[in-house]
């Protein structure tokens, strides 16, 4: 049913611009795999190379073990779901879904049956004869997925298909996509710039920047153990301190010198920064022994129900973010209160700035 | 109107509106009404105009239906105008597709300029040029003889029932009227749709048949109507590039008006041409399920 996708040392040049730089990824059969990165990082180029609309300048792409070079998009076992879905507006829903079968010469009765079966699968029964323009955003989404599934692809490629939906629907469709993927067991390769989306849906995530794959791992590892500064700051919030590593375990910043944990590949000579997630920090009345503490003044407090987000400022004017769970007993601090911003050295990680050379991805 | 006045000032807006109204009334509507009216009156010597014999009748129209030759010429005009339309479509479709979806966007203005340059020369001069090229001892024959492809001069305008010269001339003159509506309708097609069709397994002709042609249908219809009407109504090209065997309905009208000096019957023929062309176009639009509103888009 599903097939793995293997990118070996794939590069893509547009004139002098290198859009994808030596990408090496292996997507397992039946996996939900995401490429996460800011716009222009090369993730869409990777998708278009897998689907066959572009040929890599260097390297090879294998799908199900077969080299895809020179094979046209209409002959690859992949289907691409476009960002704008690219449904055919002049055809009713069922013809859209059955289009892939129609061009393969399947007869009309079977096509119609298959379309209705897929409409049930994507939870849209009874929409077969509707016009595309009659559908809502979420329904169009489902039709696009059904249209792609109709040709029984081994690999489904999704180019930010949820980005046009509103927040509620997007969260609903995340779960839906994930469920459809599990039900059909097709390999999903998903492109997004939304870290929440990538982390929530994927089995594994590849974080990209400037054409290079920075880290490939399961979502928890991406979030908990980012390999470099880019991954740390792109995925989730961070308090970032610039400074220099004095010796192992000591990092000097304008706000003070802290006990830290050095991340992979960090050396004294290479530029690096200190990263601490807001949820790993807290505010205390007194400096805490054995922890890093910075005297700070509470600037503003956002009470969000389950979470309380506090912004404090230290003597150098640096903003410090703290996120704490609402335990209902402790009232949120008042703005103007002088407190200590406290964080543990185990959670304070120094990571290299460099993103041009990805650390050993196999590790 | 308010928007126009705000943008260009009241006096300028009024001037433009008045000029347009003048053009429409004095140069289009009034002459047509005059001809329409005279088409129902008999052709009389000047002193009898307005006299007892000058009564309304449909006899000028009946003249056409009583003349088998004129009926034959009319249908030949319709058939050969349809052929011109088809040839224009066959030429313009791939070119429009190339310009809209394949060509580098930066080179499109240059390509359009190259296509438009021939239009800077008047239709009469271009027809004369084709007349020279296609004539018996003209350059085309000379070149082909020089290349040993043919061994004696050919009457290029005498082929295809005597209409080859007319067909070449009309296609050349009106092909751009097909190209532009096709181009603009294809350009509005989202390229992702073409890619999606391809990705779902379509062969190239299936993409055209199921995605591009349906999307471009309004443009195709408006191009076809334009080329057909212009061809059927053309005078210069069918006259200049004629062969002994070719006649065009507009020539018959011209003969009534300028040779027989019978403007009344000439007008009747002109309105018959208009009417029958409208019927023909409407039938074709029905056949291909295109609405007038689609064409206006």
- CB-neighbour burial class of residue A200 (10 A; exposed 0-12, middle 13-18, buried 19+): middle
Residue among A49, A63, A50, A135 nearest A97 (CA): A135
pLDDT at residue A188, as a whole number: 95
Q: Does A175 touch chain B (CB under 8 A)?
A: no
Q: Which of B196, B210, B214 lies at the smallest CB-CB distance from A86?
A: B196
The mean of the pLDDT values for chain A is: 89
CA-to-CA distance for A195 and A363, rounded, in angstroms?
22
Question: In the 3-class helix/strand/coil scheme, how is chain A assigned residue by residue?
Answer: CCCCEEEEEEEEEECCEEEEEEEEEEECCCCEEEEECCCCCCHHHHHHHHHCCCCCCEEEEEECCEECCCCCHHHCCEEEECCCCCCCCCCEHHHHHCHHHHCCCCCHHHHHHHHHHHHHHCCCCCCCCCEHHHCCHHHHHHHHHHHHHHCCCCEEEEECCCCCCCHHHHHHHHHHHHHHHHHHCCEEEEEECCHHHHHHHCCEEEEEECCEEEEEECHHHHHHCCCCHHHHHHCCCCEEEEEEEEECCEEEECCEEEECEECCCCCCCCCEEEEECHHHEEEECCCCCCCEEEEEEEEEEEECCCEEEEEEEECCCCEEEEEEECCCCCCCCCCCCEEEEEECHHHCEEEECCCCCCCCCCC
DSSP string computed for chain B: -HHHHHHH-HHHHHHHHHHHHHIIIIIIIHHHHHHHHHTTS----GGGTTSTT----SHHHHHHHT-HHHHHHHHHHHHHHHHHHHHHHHHHHHHHHIIIIIS-GGGHHHHHHHHHGGGGS-HHHHHHHHHHHHSTTSHHHHHHHHTTS-SS---GGGHHHHTHHHHHHHHHHHHHHHHHHHHHHHHTS-HHHHHHHHHTT--HHHHIIIIIHHHHHHHHHHHHHHHHHHHHT--HHHHHT--TT---HHHHHHIIIIIS--HHHHHHHHHHHHHHHHHHHHHHHHHTT--HHHHH-
Residue among B237, B89, B243, B249 nearest B160 (CA): B243
Rounded to a whole number, what is the distance in Å from the CA of A218 to chain B's nearest CA? Answer: 30
Q: What is the architecture of the domain spanning B68-296?
A: Orthogonal Bundle (1.10)
Average pLDDT over residues A174-189: 90
Please say whether the beta carbons of B182 and B208 come within 8 A.
no
Residues of B in contact with A88 (CB under 8 A): 193, 196-197, 210-211
Residues of B in contact with A86 (CB under 8 A): 190, 192-193, 195-196
Q: A98 to chain B: nearest residue by CA?
A: B200
Q: Residue A104 contacts by C-beta under 8 Å, 6 or more apart in sequence?
A: A151, B201
Res. A326: pLDDT tops 90: no
Residues of B in contact with A80 (CB under 8 A): 195-196, 199
Residue among B199, B211, B217 with most chain A CBs within 10 A, to mutate: B199
Q: A73 to chain B: nearest residue by CA?
A: B199
Q: Which of B192, B200, B203 lies at the smallest CB-CB distance from A99?
A: B200
Q: Does A71 touch chain B (CB under 8 A)?
A: no
Q: Residue B186 contacts by C-beta under 8 Å, 6 or more apart in sequence?
A: B96, B97, B100, B101, B212, B215, B216, B219
Q: Does A152 touch chain B (CB under 8 A)?
A: no
Q: Residue B105 contacts by C-beta under 8 Å, 6 or more apart in sequence?
A: none
pLDDT at residue B153, as a whole number: 75
pLDDT at residue A358, as a whole number: 43
Rounded to two decimals, the pTM is 0.79
Average pLDDT over residues B163-182: 90
Q: Which of the residue ranges A171-175, B6-10, B46-50, B77-81 would you say has the lowest mean pLDDT?
A: B46-50
Q: B195 to chain A: nearest residue by CA?
A: A53
Helices B213-232 and B164-187: crossing angle, nearest 10°? 150
Beta-strand relationship, A58-63 and A155-159:
unpaired
Residue B32 phi, psi (nearest 5): -65, -40
Q: Which of A74, A90, A147 lies at the smallest CB-CB distance from B215?
A: A90
pLDDT in tens, A218-262: 999 999 999 888 999 899 889 999 888 887 788 888 888 888 888
Q: A51 to chain B: nearest residue by CA?
A: B199
Residue among B188, B189, B190, B196 with most chain A CBs within 10 A, to mutate: B196
Q: Which of B192, B203, B210 lies at the smallest CB-CB distance from A84?
A: B192
Q: Does A223 touch chain B (CB under 8 A)?
A: no
Res. B214: pLDDT tops 50: yes
Q: Which of A53, A100, A151 lies at the smallest CB-CB distance from B195?
A: A53
A261 has which bridge partners?
Answer: A349
Residues 9-68 of A with CB under 8 A from B: 51-53
pLDDT in tens, A148-171: 999 999 999 999 888 878 888 888
Q: Does A72 touch chain B (CB under 8 A)?
A: yes
pLDDT in tens, B215-234: 998 899 889 989 999 999 99
CA-to-CA distance for B297 and B254, rounded, in angstroms?
35
Residues of A in contact with B195 (CB under 8 A): 53, 73, 80, 82, 86
CA-to-CA distance for A68 and A60, rounded, in angstroms?
8
Report ipTM (2 d.p.): 0.79
Please say whether the beta carbons of A135 and A93 come within 8 A.
yes
The b-or-e profile of A120-141 (16+ CB within 10 A means b, else e) is ebbebeebbeeebeebeebbbb
Residues of B in contact with A47 (CB under 8 A): none
- At B240, the pLDDT band (50, 70, 90 cuts) reads confident
CB within 8 Å: A86 and B210: no
pLDDT at residue B245, as a whole number: 74
Q: Does A344 touch chain B (CB under 8 A)?
A: no
Residue among A48, A73, A83, A101 with most chain B CBs within 10 A, to mutate: A73
CA distances from A99 to A116, A349, B103 (A): 13, 52, 27
Place of tokens 């397992």: A28
Rounded to a whole number, what is the distance in Å from the CA of B135 to chain A's nearest CA? Answer: 49
Delimit the domains of chain B by residue range: 68-296
CB within 8 Å: A51 and B199: yes
CB within 8 Å: A88 and B190: no
Res. A131: pLDDT tops 90: yes
Rounded to a whole number, what is the distance in Å from the CA of B245 to chain A's nearest CA? Answer: 46
Q: Which of the residue ranges A31-40, A285-294, B128-137, B155-164 would you say has the lowest mean pLDDT?
A: B155-164
pLDDT at residue A363, as a whole number: 33
A259 has which bridge partners?
Answer: A250
Q: Which two tokens stand for residue B79?
A: 């058939």
Res. A357: pLDDT tops 50: no
Res. A359: pLDDT tops 60: no
Q: A152 to chain B: nearest residue by CA?
A: B200
pLDDT in tens, A7-40: 999 999 998 999 999 999 999 999 999 999 998 8
Average pLDDT over residues A90-111: 94
Residue among A324, A333, A219 nearest A279 (CA): A324
């Amino acid at each position: 049913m599903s097939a793995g996708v293997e990118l070996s040392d794939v590069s893509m040049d547009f004139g002098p611009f290198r859009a994808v730089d030596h990408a090496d990824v292996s997507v397992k059969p039946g996996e939900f795999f995401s490429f996460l990165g800011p716009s222009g990082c090369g993730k869409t180029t990777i998708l278009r190379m897998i689907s066959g609309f572009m040929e890599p300048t260097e390297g090879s792409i294998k799908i199900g073990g077969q080299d895809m070079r020179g094979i046209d998009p209409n002959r690859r076992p992949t289907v691409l779901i476009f960002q704008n879905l690219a449904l055919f507006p002049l055809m009713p829903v069922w013809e859209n879904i059955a289009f892939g079968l129609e061009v393969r010469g399947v007869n009309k009765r079977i096509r119609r049956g298959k379309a209705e079966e897929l409409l049930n699968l994507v939870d849209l029964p009874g929409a077969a004869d509707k016009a595309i323009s009659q559908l809502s955003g979420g329904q169009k989404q489902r039709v696009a997925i059904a249209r792609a599934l109709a040709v029984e692809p081994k690999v489904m490629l999704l180019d930010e298909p949820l980005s046009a939906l509103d927040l509620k629907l997007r969260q609903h469709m995340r779960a839906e996509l994930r469920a459809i993927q599990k039900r059909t067991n097709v390999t999903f390769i998903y492109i997004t710039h939304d870290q929440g989306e990538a982390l929530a849906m994927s089995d594994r995530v590849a974080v990209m920047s400037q054409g290079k794959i920075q880290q490939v791992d399961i979502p928890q590892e991406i979030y908990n153990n980012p390999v470099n500064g880019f991954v740390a700051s792109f995925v989730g919030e961070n308090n970032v301190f610039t400074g220099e590593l004095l010796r192992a375990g000591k990092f000097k910043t304008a706000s003070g010198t802290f006990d830290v944990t050095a991340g992979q590949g960090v050396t004294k000579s290479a530029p690096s920064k200190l990263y601490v997630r807001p949820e790993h920090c807290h505010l205390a009345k007194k400096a805490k022994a054995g922890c890093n503490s910075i005297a700070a003044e509470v600037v503003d407090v956002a009470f969000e129900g389950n979470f309380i987000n506090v912004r404090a400022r230290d003597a150098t004017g640096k903003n410090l973010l703290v996120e704490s769970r609402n335990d209902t007993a402790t009232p949120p601090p008042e703005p103007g209160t002088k407190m200590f911003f406290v964080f543990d050295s185990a959670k304070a990680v120094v990571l290299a700035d460099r993103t041009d050379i990805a650390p050993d991805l196999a590790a | 109107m308010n928007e126009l006045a705000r943008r260009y000032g009241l006096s300028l807006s009024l001037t433009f509106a008045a000029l347009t109204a003048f053009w429409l009334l004095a140069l289009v509507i009034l002459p047509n009404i005059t001809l329409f009216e005279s088409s129902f009156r008999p052709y009389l010597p000047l002193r009898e105009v307005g006299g007892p014999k000058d009564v309304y009748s449909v006899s000028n129209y009946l003249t056409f239906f009583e003349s088998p030759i004129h009926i034959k010429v009319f249908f030949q005009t319709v058939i050969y105008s349809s052929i011109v339309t088809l040839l224009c479509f066959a030429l313009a479709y791939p070119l429009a597709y190339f310009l809209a979806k394949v060509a580098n966007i930066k080179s499109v203005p240059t390509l359009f300029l190259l296509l438009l340059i021939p239009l800077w020369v008047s239709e009469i001069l271009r027809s004369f040029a084709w007349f020279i090229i296609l004539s018996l001892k003209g350059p085309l024959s000379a070149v082909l003889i020089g290349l040993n492809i043919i061994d004696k001069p050919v009457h290029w305008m005498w082929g295809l029932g005597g209409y080859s010269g007319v067909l070449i001339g009309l296609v050349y003159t009106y092909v751009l009227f097909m190209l532009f509506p096709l181009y603009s309708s294809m350009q509005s097609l989202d390229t992702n749709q073409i890619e999606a069709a391809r990705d779902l397994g379509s062969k190239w002709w299936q993409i055209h048949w199921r995605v591009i042609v349906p999307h471009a249908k309004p443009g195709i219809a408006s191009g076809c109507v334009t080329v057909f009407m212009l061809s059927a109504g053309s005078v210069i090209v069918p006259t200049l590039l004629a062969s002994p065997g070719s006649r065009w309905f507009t020539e018959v009208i011209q003969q009534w008006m300028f040779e027989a000096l019978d403007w009344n019957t000439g007008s009747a023929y002109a309105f018959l041409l208009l009417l029958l062309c409208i019927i023909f176009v409407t039938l074709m639009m029905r056949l291909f399920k295109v609405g007038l509103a689609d064409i206006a888009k």
